[in-house]
Amino acid sequence: MALRRNVVVVALALAAVAGCKPKQERAPAVGKDAAPVAEIVVDAAPEEPELPPPDVAPVEPPRRLWTNELVTEQAWLDYSKEQGGERFSKFVVDLKTDAIYYFDVDVYRLHKDFIFGELYKKPKTREAVKAFDVNYGKDKTDFLMCYLVHHLGPDKWTFAFWEGDHATPAHVERAYRRMKATFWKGDVISYRPDSNYQEHVARQLTSIPVITNDKLYKDSVYAAFNKGTAIGTLRVVPVGAKEEDLSFNPTDIVILPEALPDITPVAGIISETFSTPLSHVSLRARAWGIPNVGLKGASTTYAALVGKTVYFEAKDASHALREATADEIAAWQAKTREAREVVIPAADLDPVELLTLDRLRAADVTAYGAKSANLGEIVHAKPEGFAVPSGFGVPIHWYDAHMKAAGLDARVAELLADAKFRSDAAYRKRTLDQLRKDIAAAPLDPAFEATLGEAVDALTGGDETKGLFVRSSTNAEDLPGFSGAGLYDTVPNAKGKAAVARAIREVWASVWNLRAYEEREHYRIDHARVYGAVLVQVGVDATAAGVLVTVHPTDPAETVYTINAKSGLGLRVVAGKKVPETILYDYKNHGMRVLSRSDEETMLVFDGKGGVREVPNPHKGKPVLTNQRILTLGKAARRLTRVFPPDRPLDIEWLFVNDELYVVQSRPYVVR
């Protein structure tokens, strides 16, 4: 790509005036993907330029594409960009000359692009790139490639390598030395390891300050899980409040002492204990389109605003929370909200057979619910690299029959028509509590109970010590535009036919959880059309478990999966009350970036008598996911994206027993 003539003339003129030769300059692009021009080489001294007329403003020289030092704040701002609560730039160290190059990240997205375009000055052929990639290994030949980052929330500065880079301690020390000598904030910068391997290298460094992503995250005062703006009444939930005693108004902006999985729709969420973007409450807040943040000390900082109508805005690295003006309140109230109506598929009450997963397909969703149908589709696809625990689906026919036999269907109809039930939140909560108790207490149809016992024996081989998971699979979850994450109940490790029968009634009753009712109301779902199917699966006593979504948490354009993991069973990952291990996995180049570590003292395991129990975590302080586990999980998720429609990101629940992977759920990842 050639520079336009007038740009060349101006550049040469300015160089002559300054008494120096022109360097790399930003050139006008030709075409959408045109690369910046290489260095202009001038063999002869330029002619003396004509001075512009006095009434013509002087032309600013184009900024150079790279520089050997960033010694002022303005220079840093020129060569960096802000994204996701961080401001970053990149640099390259030439191993042969020790030269350092800070390059413009608005022009060159990748280190490799800069090196080929400006230093090698040759095309990125497949052979050339293959030879170059040795520079990401331990035996680098030409370059060190690093990032400089200002973490805006905690106001910390770090430098790092790409998470897949195998730089040695000597490489880290050399990059640090060159950066520190040429960067205006060099004295306050720490090395930030981004992967399991790099954390191992960091432990060998003795003369360089080190800070992990985990410490950055846990030391932060603020984290945005979902950005947005809201106006509502500020409310504080006190520490120690019982979840079952809480109810919320859709206009509340709530400050919580910790993440609350059962929260009903509100206008905004502020949690004083950091959670995870993949907890049920975060997934639901994202689907609701409301601001959701972690903010330590919020109840103290904003005590004077409690009970007032406030303006709340969540950004990547900062937030605003103040009393709303009269104009803002009026504008918010007058704002026409987008109609958010989810129409659930018509229920098929005819099928009565308890079908095993290998006999279920996506088309069975109207009778067996989405969870069972989706797993049946996965089993049918026979993907490699993981297993799906065996199980069977209980169709919605039996829920409908149970409700009718006990006269509970008529009671539901009366409630839905009751003006007090619909308008009085406290009354609605009490009434639903009683309805659930009555559903769980009503006896099962004897014929169904006998059939259920046969299915349980077939699944367990008659071994009543083998625990089963009894999970919801309603026709009002796992739908496009409505995931239903966390609305309904799971009964873990039910042992024996009697325990499974009780668990099925509990799961049926959870159709009328308060959070489920309020969420459906929020999406204008017709409650009378909701039916409870059930999935019964062989329980797996997991070594590690968690959630993976097939998108980046802040940039959907990235080829990155987000993984949350904890030791033991995965119930606490989706509860979101503690920070899990968080990994970003790039499925194109297999990069594995560690964002946080799980440091829980305890973990959940199966109880021999049924249910789960808490035990000391023998893995505390160690990574939950090894590189091999991450790779196995990433490959499995990639295969699952080919089973379901390609335009829908997936929310996948998984678990490991040692290094053997199981997938127990795949649902749409819903983002408003």
Please check whether residues 506 and 595 belong to one and the same domain. Answer: no
How high is the mean pLDDT of the chain?
86
Question: Residue 260 — pLDDT band, cuts 50, 70, 90?
Answer: confident
Note the pLDDT of residue 577: 60
Tokens of 54: 């006095």
Better-scored residue on pLDDT, 303 or 589: 303
The answer to whether residue 343 is domain-embedded is no
Does 553 score more than 70 pLDDT? no
Please check whether residues 105 and 54 belong to one and the same domain. Answer: no
In this structure, of 53-62, 71-80, 133-142, 649-658, the range with the lowest mean pLDDT score is 53-62
One-letter amino acid at 163 equals: E
Does 252 score more than 90 pLDDT? yes
Rounded to whole angstroms, the Cα distance separating 264 from 284 reads: 9
Better-scored residue on pLDDT, 344 or 540: 540
Please check whether residues 122 and 48 belong to one and the same domain. Answer: no
Asked if residues 552 and 560 have their Cβ atoms less than 8 Å apart, the reply is yes
Stretch 247-271: mean pLDDT, rounded? 88
The answer to whether residue 346 is domain-embedded is no
Neighbours of 91 (CB within 10 A): 26
Question: Residue 317 — pLDDT band, cuts 50, 70, 90?
Answer: confident
Better-scored residue on pLDDT, 286 or 21: 286
Tokens of 381: 């696809």
Residue at a domain's end among 64, 79, 100:
64
Question: Residue 24 — pLDDT band, cuts 50, 70, 90?
Answer: very low
Does 6 score more than 60 pLDDT? no
pLDDT tens digits for 459-474? 999 998 999 999 999 9
Short-list 220, 248, 218, CA closest to 235? 248
Note the pLDDT of residue 599: 75
Note the pLDDT of residue 575: 61
Check which CATH number belongs to the domain holding 262 and give it: 3.50.30.10
Does 425 score more than 70 pLDDT? yes
Question: Residue 49 — pLDDT band, cuts 50, 70, 90?
Answer: very low
Does 34 score more than 50 pLDDT? no
pLDDT tens digits for 166-187? 999 999 999 999 999 999 999 9
**Neighbouring residues of 294: CB distance < 8 A, sequence distance ≥ 6:** 220, 222, 223, 225, 270, 271, 272, 273, 274, 275
Stretch 653-671: mean pLDDT, rounded? 90
Please check whether residues 530 and 556 belong to one and the same domain. Answer: no
Tokens of 447: 């014929």
Does 38 score more than 50 pLDDT? no
Rounded to whole angstroms, the Cα distance separating 322 from 307 reads: 12
Better-scored residue on pLDDT, 44 or 352: 352
The answer to whether residue 198 is domain-embedded is yes
Please check whether residues 549 and 657 belong to one and the same domain. Answer: yes
Please check whether residues 530 and 549 belong to one and the same domain. Answer: no
Residue at a domain's end among 43, 64, 85:
64
Rounded to whole angstroms, the Cα distance separating 241 from 235 reads: 13
Fill in the DSSP letter of residue 491: E
The answer to whether residue 345 is domain-embedded is no
Does 33 score more than 70 pLDDT? no
Short-list 151, 149, 153, CA closest to 162? 149
Note the pLDDT of residue 32: 33
Note the pLDDT of residue 262: 75
The answer to whether residue 120 is domain-embedded is yes
Please check whether residues 515 and 548 belong to one and the same domain. Answer: no
Neighbours of 306 (CB within 10 A): 13
pLDDT tens digits for 365-420? 999 999 999 999 999 998 899 999 999 999 999 999 999 999 999 999 999 999 99
Tokens of 175: 């990059």
Please check whether residues 284 and 423 belong to one and the same domain. Answer: no
Please check whether residues 450 and 527 belong to one and the same domain. Answer: yes
The answer to whether residue 559 is domain-embedded is yes
Please check whether residues 367 and 273 belong to one and the same domain. Answer: no
Domain tally, the chain: 5
In this structure, of 10-19, 141-150, 527-536, the range with the lowest mean pLDDT score is 10-19
In this structure, of 94-98, 529-533, 552-556, 582-586, the range with the lowest mean pLDDT score is 552-556
The answer to whether residue 429 is domain-embedded is yes
The pTM of the full predicted model, rounded to 2 decimals, is 0.77
Strands (E), 527-621: 534-538, 544-549, 560-567, 581-586, 592-596, 602-606, 612-616
The answer to whether residue 264 is domain-embedded is yes
Stretch 330-358: mean pLDDT, rounded? 84
Please check whether residues 240 and 374 belong to one and the same domain. Answer: no
Residue at a domain's end among 496, 515, 536:
536
Boundaries of domain holding 309: 222-334
Give how far Cα 577 sits from Cα of 240, 288, 616, Å: 14, 20, 18
Note the pLDDT of residue 367: 96
Note the pLDDT of residue 479: 78
Rounded to whole angstroms, the Cα distance separating 262 from 246 reads: 9
Check which CATH number belongs to the domain holding 616 and give it: 3.30.470.20
pLDDT tens digits for 608-654? 999 999 899 888 878 999 999 999 999 999 999 999 887 788 999 99
- Taking the alpha carbons at both ends of the chain, their separation in whole angstroms is 41
Fill in the DSSP letter of residue 645: -
Question: Residue 489 — pLDDT band, cuts 50, 70, 90?
Answer: very high
Note the pLDDT of residue 671: 65
Share of residues in the chain with pLDDT > 70 (%): 88
Beta bridge mates, 540: none
Rounded to whole angstroms, the Cα distance separating 192 from 160 reads: 5
3-state secondary structure 262-279: CCCCCCEEEECCCCCCCC
Note the pLDDT of residue 37: 34
pLDDT tens digits for 598-611? 878 888 889 999 99
**Neighbouring residues of 167: CB distance < 8 A, sequence distance ≥ 6:** 138, 140, 144, 161, 175, 198, 201
Note the pLDDT of residue 26: 36
Asked if residues 328 and 230 have their Cβ atoms less than 8 Å apart, the reply is no
Better-scored residue on pLDDT, 547 or 576: 547
Tell me the pairing of strands 292-295 and 268-271.
Answer: parallel
Please check whether residues 160 and 187 belong to one and the same domain. Answer: yes
Note the pLDDT of residue 31: 33
The CA dihedral of 518, 520, 524, 530, to the nearest 10 degrees, is: -130
Note the pLDDT of residue 87: 94
Question: Residue 248 — pLDDT band, cuts 50, 70, 90?
Answer: confident
